[in-house]
Amino acid sequence: MGVPELILKDTRVKLSTPEKYDLGSAPWMRLVDDTCDIVQIVIDTRSFGVSGIKMYSHLSKNVVYKLAQEAHRQGLQVWSHSFVGPATVADVVNADVDAISRVPALLYRDDWNLKKDGSLAMDGSILGSDRLDRILDMMKRNGILLDPTLAIFEENLKRVTNSTERTELEELLFAVTALAHNGGVSIVTGTDIPISAADDEFPHLYHEIELLVTRVGLTPMEAITAATKNGAIVLGIDKTHGTIEIGKVANVVVLQADPTEDIRNISRVEFVIKNGIILGASDNILH
């Protein structure tokens, strides 16, 4: 979702829009503004079997509120970038979305502009501000989860050639995440990094989990919970997934060593159980 020029130029939009749709009109990739029929847009989106909507960019406060309210009314989850300007972070949180992603935006000024300021323009003075405290308190009280996407911003920071500036930005990135966690905001894992055939054996999610422990200060179990239980909550499937309980789907990763002693042990995989089936072993089914 975004302004017309964003839709027209975004490669991801082009790749995910079949030829029969104009860019910005596909039910799963919509351009939305104050003139749109929000109720019908959500109906159209829901008809494709989606479980939630994601608010991406260039949305007004009014549209953010209407989308969140209507999607929830129709039984969908609502996810959003933390900054979708002109709507502010506070606007997004007050709209009572289920989760927000991209933690650096918690330190963006309300007049932040991507083209002018860049994606790493965090303002350190916001870190201890009443404004941020109010936002985090609202997230805690409303049960809005935070998806920091630390891994992609850590990667982006490699573009900063000044080592002192890069270190300062890294510290801000991890500090605001720690502030949210210590303030009682639930963390959920995500990376926003595409997966390609050239990637390592393990997805970037593993690095995200490690960062939550080594740089943010979560305990290993808190980080694992962020990737399992909290992930299921954000997707709205926590009644059937996310924890090991009787009656839930048997999706389990069995490790060779205890990850609560060393979070890096999450990569020491013995085998995987998916839907009750031990992958790689024929006819092994758990009952």
Please indicate, yes or no, whether residues 177 and 281 belong to a single structural domain of this protein.
no
Cross-strand bridge partners of residue 25 = 30
Q: For the chain, percent helix, then strand, then coil, each to nearest 5? A: 45, 10, 45
DSSP state of 106: G
Q: Is 285 helix (H, G, I), strand (E, B) or coil?
A: strand
Lowest mean pLDDT among 38-42, 144-148, 151-155: 151-155
Same domain? For 132 and 173 the reply is: yes
Tokens of 261: 């002693």
Domain identity same for 11 and 117: yes
Angle at alpha carbon of residue 54, lines to 233 and 87, rounded to 5°: 115
State whether the Cα torsion 84-86-92-95 is positive or negative. Answer: negative
Structure-block tokens of residue 21? 């749709």
> Which residues are 254's β-sheet partners?
271
3-state secondary structure of 148: coil
Q: Tell me the pLDDT band of 198, cut-offs 50, 70 and 90.
A: low
* Burial of 157: CB neighbours in 10 Å, binned 0-12, 13-18, 19+: middle
Q: How far apart are CA 168 and CA 124, in angstroms?
A: 9
For residue 285, give both structure tokens: 């089914």
Span 24-54, pLDDT tens digits: 888 888 889 899 999 999 999 999 999 999 9
| Per-residue pLDDT reduced to its tens digit, 85-97 | 889 999 999 999 9
Task: Give the single-character DSSP code of 69.
Answer: H
* Number of domains, the chain: 2
* Ramachandran bin of 217, using left for φ above 0, alpha for ψ from -120 to 50, beta for the remaining angles: left
193/278 same-domain check: no
Are 53 and 81 in the same domain?
yes
The whole-number pLDDT of residue 180 equals 97
Distance from C-alpha of 114 to C-alpha of 174, rounded to nearest angstrom: 21
Average of per-residue pLDDT values in the chain: 89
- With a pLDDT cut of 90, the percent of the chain lying above it is 68
- Residues 275, 241, single domain; the answer is no
Return the pLDDT at 14: 82
Pair 226, 256 in one domain: no
Nearest Cα to Cα of residue 186 among 248, 125, 142: 142
Residues in the chain: 287
- For residue 236, the model assigns a pLDDT of 94
Please report, for the domain that includes residue 59, its CATH number.
Answer: 3.20.20.140
Helices vs. strands in the chain: H and E counts, helices first: 12, 9
- Domain co-membership, 173 together with 119: yes
* Average pLDDT of the segment spanning 55-80: 95
Q: What was the pLDDT predicted at 2?
A: 42
158 and 281 housed in the same domain: no
Q: Where are the beta strands (DSSP E) in 15-163?
A: 25-26, 29-30, 52-55, 77-81, 99-101, 145-147
Q: Which two tokens stand for residue 17?
A: 């829009």
Is 231 in the same domain as 271?
A: no
**Measuring CA to CA, which residue among 23, 13, 84, 73 is closest to residue 46?**
73
pLDDT for 25 equals 86
Domain of residue 278, residue span: 250-287
Percent over 70 (pLDDT), the chain: 92
On the question of pLDDT at 281 being above 60, the answer is no
- In Å, how far are 14, 226, 247 from 240, measured between CA atoms? 34, 16, 7
**pTM, 2 dp:** 0.89
Residues 16 and 117 in one domain: yes
Strand, coil or helix: 58:
coil
Q: Are residues 53 and 175 in the same domain?
A: yes
